[in-house]
């Protein structure tokens, strides 16, 4: 069977990612001073403006939102007022409120603890209802889908050659998409590569195309996969106006970019700006951790896991797995129930999610990065012993 799967990635200068980065930077700042901070930080940005909103419950006396936002915008690369968004001149509005007491009640004192459970991991309830997905596949070294892996590699390289000055006509905003052809579930070649890169208005189309092909695409995608592929560079013909000046940015709008590139289902919840009590984030990380360890242990070649939560309840209401015919789903689910604990407090302890690590996750995907806790394979041996 033949099919084509497309995945996209964006650079840190994309307006939505600017917002995600500010939100995660503020979250880290709160966690540095109070590891029990409960943060739901939202950011939106437009020409000359960044607005920080959300619900905060923290013992931290002061979070310098202005300073953090401006430092983050500078780091991304918006350092010239001519771009329509500049860290020195943009307005930063702080519209932060306290956390709803109704939500706080369910997180602090879960349904299980209110009905008699003395287990400390039953004490903390889920910060919201919803379903989260995890996934792993053996088609890449990172156990990630190949289309999103290649797309992230392209945008990382696009930013790298901008920052190094090798392609000095590039500006912070950009995105890439890879359409990958599969035959019988095996990736065999790239059908199409799309790169859209913000650029200086004086550069020619030919310079942009030649530079991006030579310095980005050819350095990232193996020749055996790229042979015969259609390559589209800035298909509109011009990308001078970009970033928040070209399109309003909002936190959490790149959820497919952040996860598996559309190769699997998505629960809908965003990650950035949320602390670990929000299972949108923590349970998605844990589901990835579970799937990666199960695949690495050899129980299947690929695995999809769905976990469902009710707000204020510690234990999930559902678990579902699908190994796409590459393993015994009933056996896999039995192993998962024996080895892994999906209660929010247990997840936070296992993955050390009260630490200020979230700026590391914002750009180029929350999964597939070796240094993150949920990417570790420290449960493989335990899985093998049970099997």
pLDDT in tens, the chain (387 residues): 899 999 999 999 999 999 999 999 999 999 999 999 999 999 999 999 999 999 988 888 789 999 999 999 999 999 999 889 999 999 999 998 876 555 555 566 666 666 666 677 777 888 788 999 999 999 999 999 999 999 999 999 999 999 999 999 999 999 999 999 999 989 999 999 999 999 999 999 999 999 999 999 999 999 999 999 999 999 999 999 999 999 999 999 999 999 999 999 998 889 999 999 999 999 999 999 999 999 999 999 999 999 999 998 999 999 999 999 999 999 999 999 999 999 999 999 999 999 999 999 999 999 999 999 999 999 999 999 998
> Under the phi-then-psi rule, with left for phi > 0, alpha for psi from -120 to 50, and beta for the rest, what region is 349?
alpha
Total residues found in the chain within this entry: 387
The three-class DSSP label of residue 127 is coil
What's residue 120's pLDDT?
A: 75
CB 12 within 8 A of CB 19: no
pTM: 0.94
Closest CA to 298 of 265, 262, 335: 335
Alpha helices (H) in 183-296, listed in sequence order: 205-212, 218-220, 223-226, 255-258, 279-296
Quick one: pLDDT at residue 96? 87
What pLDDT, on the 0 to 100 scale, is given for residue 1? 87
Among candidates 371, 369, 367, 381, which has minimal Cα distance to 298? 381
β-bridge mates for residue 193, sequence order: 178, 231
What tokens were used for 162?
């901008």
Task: Return the closest-CA partner of residue 271 out of 72, 133, 96.
Answer: 133
Q: Using DSSP, how many helices (H) and how many strands (E) does the chain show?
A: 13, 11
Q: Hey, how many other C-beta atoms are within 10 angstroms of the C-beta on 328?
A: 12
d(CA 341, CA 56): 27
Per DSSP, helices labelled H in 297-373 are 329-339, 344-351
Helices (H), the chain: 15-33, 65-76, 101-108, 111-114, 146-164, 205-212, 218-220, 223-226, 255-258, 279-296, 329-339, 344-351, 380-386
The b/e string for 244-274 (b: 16+ C-beta within 10 A; e otherwise) is: bbbbebbbbbbbbbbbbbbbbebbebbbbbb
Quote the pLDDT of residue 264.
94
H helices present in 190-254, as ranges: 205-212, 218-220, 223-226
């Amino acid at each position: 069977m033949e099919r084509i799967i497309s995945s996209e990635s964006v650079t840190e200068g994309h307006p939505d990612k600017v917002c995600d980065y500010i939100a995660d930077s503020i979250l880290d700042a709160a966690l540095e001073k109070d590891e029990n901070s409960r943060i739901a930080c939202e950011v939106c940005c437009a020409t000359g403006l960044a607005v920080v909103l959300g619900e905060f419950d923290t013992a931290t006396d002061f979070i310098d939102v202005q300073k953090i936002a401006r430092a983050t915008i500078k780091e991304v690369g918006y350092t010239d007022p001519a771009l329509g968004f500049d860290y020195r001149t943009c307005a930063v509005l702080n519209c932060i409120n306290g956390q709803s007491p109704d939500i706080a009640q369910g997180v602090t004192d879960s349904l299980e603890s209110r009905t008699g459970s003395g287990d400390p991991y039953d004490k903390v309830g889920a910060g919201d209802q919803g379903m989260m997905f995890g996934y792993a596949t053996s088609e890449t070294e990172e156990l990630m889908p190949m289309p999103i892996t290649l797309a992230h590699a392209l945008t990382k390289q696009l930013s790298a050659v901008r920052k190094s000055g090798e392609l000095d006509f590039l500006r912070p905003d950009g995105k890439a998409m890879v359409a990958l052809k599969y035959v019988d579930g095996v990736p065999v070649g790239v059908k199409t590569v799309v790169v859209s890169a913000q650029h200086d208005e004086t550069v020619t189309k030919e310079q942009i195309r030649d530079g991006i092909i030579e310095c980005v695409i050819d350095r990232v995608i193996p020749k055996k996969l790229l042979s015969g592929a259609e390559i589209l560079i800035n298909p509109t013909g011009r990308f001078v106006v970009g970033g928040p000046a070209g399109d309003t940015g909002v936190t959490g709008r790149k959820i497919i970019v952040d996860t598996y590139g559309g190769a699997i289902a998505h629960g809908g919840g965003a990650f950035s700006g949320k602390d670990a009590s929000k299972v949108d984030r923590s349970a998605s990380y844990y589901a990835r951790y579970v799937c990666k360890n199960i695949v690495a242990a050899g129980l299947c070649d690929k695995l999809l896991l769905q976990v469902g939560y009710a707000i204020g309840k510690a234990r999930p209401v559902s678990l579902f797995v699908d190994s796409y015919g590459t393993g015994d789903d009933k056996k896999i689910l039995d192993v998962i129930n024996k080895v892994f604990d999906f209660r929010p407090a247990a997840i936070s302890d296992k993955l050390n999610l009260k630490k200020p690590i979230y700026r590391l996750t914002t750009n180029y995907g929350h999964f597939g990065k070796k240094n993150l806790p949920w990417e570790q394979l420290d449960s493989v041996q335990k899985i093998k012993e049970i099997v």
